[in-house]
Every structure is written in structure tokens, then in C-alpha cells.
Amino acid sequence: MLKLCNGLISPTSGDIYIHDRPIEQFDPVELRRTVGIALQHAPMIKGTVYDNLALPLKLAGKKLSKAKALSYLQDVGLDESFLDNDIKDLSGGQRQKVSIARTLVNRPAILLLDEITASLDPQSTKEIEHLIEYINETYQVTIIWITHHLEQAKTIGHYTWIIMEGEIVETGESSFLASPKTEKARQFVKGGLT
Amino acid sequence: MSFTALAMTLIFVLIPLALSKTLKLGLEKDTLIATIRSIIQLLIIGYLLQFVFDAEHAVYMLLMILLMIIAAVENVRKKGFFIEGITWKVALTLVMIELLTQGILIGLNITPPTPQYVIPISGMVIGNAMVLSILFLNRFLAEVEAHEEQSELILSLGGTPKQAIHSQLISSIRASMIPTIESQKTMGLVQLPGMMSGQIIAGADPLQAVLFQLLVVFLLLTTAAMSSVMLGFLAYPTLFNERMQLKTIRKA
């Protein structure tokens, strides 16, 4: 679903608006820089952490300074010694952090997170959750996060959509998760449906 | 060489047939088909070349080259099923290579514009370009499929289709060119090239044979570079749609 918002795929029906503008009216490159996405498996290019952080600017024909790269690393809670590390040497959690930092380099207005904690251990998941809250405040960026962890939606999300089999079951401020109105949403919250 | 002598060389076909039968390799049918096809095809081309050389008319020469290009395009087309408009892309590539190589050879008076020179050289150039194009397309498909996630990542960060496919394109071009370059490094040391050997057996001066072989070596380098580069740059845009999205590769 998030790939639809980032323009990596197009909807077969329906419309998507970004800031009241249909996404078809965006130039694909402009759209993808405005709406950043951190993909589920945090794909990386070969090379170092710096090579990956510098990628968005390199694609635009610009260069990322070492100082700026270090500040992005700091923002995602990674030590500056990671900058020259080979990407192959990072853990799953560290890769996700680099992936998020790399998406931030484009300074997107909207940040899409595609099940980024799905394959992480509890400790790394907690770190990513804190990181997302920090980024939301520091970068003032709208974050849309797809998750199967109900607690993440309850504690971090301001607004929640419960989507089942492609349909929105219930939506509202995340507090509704305490007492959903629809039967399907109630069952989902109880853990009866996934 | 007489037809009787040629008939005796069929011993060289009997040996692999016997080995295949004894070791149950299951290659008897294919060996027989390959032998019969090569006899028929080469005899036909021999008589055809004889006719074209005797006729000394440019139209026949051009028809021969056209025939070679059509046969080569047909062979490459099947391997490029995942590229839209592969037929005309391969045809354009082969025509451009043929025009460039013959243009230089004839334009600079290196070889005369007669069928005896133009047709065999065209055969080597087009044949080599065909093999190189097949090598390139096989590798390119494997690279695109293996690195789909990386292409998607680059697109998602605001990269263009060319940037998203660049490393796959370059490594496919390199991979398809390497066999030509490597085989040329050992030429004369490990193997005597076919054309040169043929000329020497037919009684030509070995030095003249070497000079012509060198011409072919240089030609094939250009052919190798041009066929994969040109086909690559014609092919990659068709993997994306107008919204710069990677299309699903349809299976053969």
C-alpha cells in the first residue's frame, strides 16, 4: 500500500492525494522525494554506511558532506564510528536505522514506514519506536507506519486505520483502540483476527 | 577437398555417436541432427556464395547480408522476450554494426567492396554480434531479476530508471564482452583462429592470413562493444513505464 503513495506502483482504481494534489500530477522524482519510504527489508547498496546515506543526494547529482552524514547518524542513534562500516557488518536493527536516516536525507514531507520492525528483536524494536517518535518531533514530518503490533499503534500513533483484507474496518484517533465500535475491529484488538 | 574425402571425415561424427551410445549420454539424436543440418546448411551456403560471386551484382550481396541479419535477429529475439520491441532493437543494432564496420573497411580502402570480402566479413561480424547479444540478454535478465530490490530502492529515493538499472546494465555489458577479450588474449598461443587456419590450409601465405585475422580480431572487438552497449541502452527503458515504475517481467 505504501508503494502506491510513493509512486513505486500505481493504483488500479481509486485516487491518492498528497497535500490535496492527485499524485498523478507530481513528477515521479518529485513525488518520491516528497514522500520518502523506508522499505520493510531495508535494502542497501553495496559499500559503506556513508555510501548509503549519500545515495539520495548522489542520485540528484549532489554530495553529502561527512559532517551532515554524521548528524543523520546521530539522529537515528548510531555512533559516528559506524559511518565507514561496511553495510554487510550491520545488524537488522542498525540497517533499519540507516535506512530511515537515508530516507530523511531527502527531507521528505511525509515518511512511510513499511513494517520496519517486523523482523527485529524486542530491544531493536523498542529503539526504533523511540527513534520514530524523535524523528516525528525533530523533523516535523508526517509519518505513516504500517504495523501488526497493536501496542505500537496505541502508544506511538496519533491516528489509526485498521485495514483488513484491503478494507478500512475502523479509523480514528488511536484512543479508539481501547474500545472499538465495529465488531471486526473489536475482534482484531482482542487478537481474534489478524 | 573432394566429396569422397569429406565422406571419410564422417568418422569424426561416429566417435561422439559411439561414446554417447556407450555412456548413455542421450546425445545421439542431437548429434545426428546437428551433423545433417550443418551439411545441408553449409552446402546450400556454398552454392549460394558461388552464385553470388559469379553474378558480381551488389543486389545479391545485399540480399545475402539481409538474410544473415534476419536469421540473427530471429535467434536473438527469443532470448529477449522480456524486452518490448526486441525485434527492431536487435535489427537496428545489427544494421548499425554492419554499416559501421563495412563503412570503415570499404571507406578507408582496407578491403574491396566485392562479395568475396564483404560477405565473409559480414558473416563474422553479424554472427559475433548475434552471440554477444544473446550473452548480454541472458545476463541482463538475470541481473535485473536478482537486483530488483536495489532498483526499487533507487527509484524510491528519487532516482531515474537509468540510475536504477545502471549497475545491472554495466555488469551485463562487461560480462558479455569478457569472453571476446579473453579469447583474443590467448589467440595464436592456445588456438589458431578458424579463419586464419582455413586460409593457411587453403594455401595462403601465413603472414597474409595473420594480417586478415588481425583485421577480424579488431572488428570483433568493436562488434562486441557495440552490440551489448547499443542493445543495452535501447533495451533498458522498456523495463519501466511512463511513471518510472519497474514493470513486472513477463515470463517466456
User: Are B48 and B104 contained in the same domain?
Assistant: no
Place of cell 559503506: A48
Each residue of B23-62: pLDDT tens digit? 999 999 999 999 999 999 999 988 988 998 888 888 999 9
Give the phi and the psi of residue A163 in degrees, each rounded to 5: -115, 125
User: Are B2 and B112 contained in the same domain?
Assistant: no
Are B160 and A41 a contacting pair, CB within 8 Å?
A: no
Q: How far is CA B138 from CA A80, B80, B133, B176, in A?
A: 42, 8, 9, 9
User: Are B112 and B195 contained in the same domain?
Assistant: yes
Q: Closest Cα partner for B89 from B144, B138, B137?
A: B137
CATH code: domain A2-149 is 3.40.50.300
Confidence check: pLDDT of B251 > 70: no
What range does the domain containing B159 cover? 57-239
Residue B40, burial from CB neighbour count under 10 angstroms (0-12, 13-18, 19+): exposed
Q: How confident is the model at residue A63 (pLDDT cuts 50, 70, 90)?
A: very high
Question: Is B245 within the bounds of a domain?
Answer: no
Question: Is B249 within the bounds of a domain?
Answer: no
| pLDDT on residue A119 | 81
Q: With CB atoms and an 8 Å threshold, state whether B153 touches A59.
A: no
CA distance B224 to B219: 9
| pLDDT on residue A31 | 95
Q: Give Cβ neighbours of residue B18 (< 8 Å, ≥ 6 apart).
A: none
Question: Is B117 within the bounds of a domain?
Answer: yes
Each residue of A36-55: pLDDT tens digit? 999 888 999 999 999 999 99
Other beta carbons within 10 Å of B65: 21
Query: What cell was used for B49?
Result: 556464395
Per-residue pLDDT, averaged over B218-242, amounts to: 93
Q: Scanning every residue of chain A, which has its alpha carbon at the shortest distance from the alpha carbon of B159?
A: A59
Query: What cell was used for A65?
Result: 558532506
User: Are B84 and B135 contained in the same domain?
Assistant: yes
Residues of B in contact with A32 (CB under 8 A): 155-158
Each residue of B114-145: pLDDT tens digit? 998 999 999 999 999 999 999 999 999 999 99
Cα within 13 Å of Cα(A72), Cβ side: 24
User: Are B80 and B192 contained in the same domain?
Assistant: yes
User: Are B140 and B16 contained in the same domain?
Assistant: no
Size of interface A-B (CB pairs under 8 A): 59
CA distance A18 to A96: 25
Query: What cell was used for A110?
Result: 511525509
| Range with lowest mean pLDDT among A22-36, B67-81, B192-206 | B192-206
| pLDDT on residue A43 | 94
Q: Scanning every residue of chain B, which has its alpha carbon at the shortest distance from the alpha carbon of A25?
A: B243
Confidence check: pLDDT of B69 > 60: yes
3-state secondary structure of A67: helix
To test the contact with chain A by mutation, choose from B147, B150, B153, B162 the residue with the greatest count of A C-beta atoms within 10 A, namely: B153
CA distance B113 to B117: 7
Confidence check: pLDDT of B191 > 80: no
Domain count, chain B: 2
Residues of A in contact with B171 (CB under 8 A): none
Q: Scanning every residue of chain A, which has its alpha carbon at the shortest distance from the alpha carbon of B245?
A: A8
User: Are B40 and B62 contained in the same domain?
Assistant: no
Q: With CB atoms and an 8 Å threshold, state whether A8 touches B157.
A: no
For chain B, say whether A45 makes contact (Cβ under 8 Å): yes
Of the partner residues B150, B158, B245, the one whose CB lies closest to the CB of residue A29: B158
Query: What cell was used for B100?
Result: 559501421
| pLDDT on residue A9 | 94
User: Are B39 and B149 contained in the same domain?
Assistant: no
Q: How confident is the model at residue B252 (pLDDT cuts 50, 70, 90)?
A: low
Confidence check: pLDDT of A193 > 80: no
Confidence check: pLDDT of B250 > 80: no
Amino acid letter at A155?
A: T
User: Are B22 and B134 contained in the same domain?
Assistant: no
Q: Which residues make up the CATH 3.40.50.300 domain(s) of chain A?
A: 2-149
Are B189 and B141 a contacting pair, CB within 8 Å?
A: no
Residues of A in contact with B170 (CB under 8 A): none
Its ipTM equals: 0.91
Residue A114's beta-bridge partner residues?
A: A146
User: Are B44 and B153 contained in the same domain?
Assistant: no
User: Are B143 and B180 contained in the same domain?
Assistant: yes
Give the phi and the psi of residue A28 in degrees, each rounded to 5: -55, -40
User: Are B28 and B85 contained in the same domain?
Assistant: no
Question: Is B137 within the bounds of a domain?
Answer: yes
Report the percentage of chain B scoring pLDDT > 70: 98
Are B69 and B94 a contacting pair, CB within 8 Å?
A: yes
Dmax over Cα atoms in chain A, in whole Å? 53
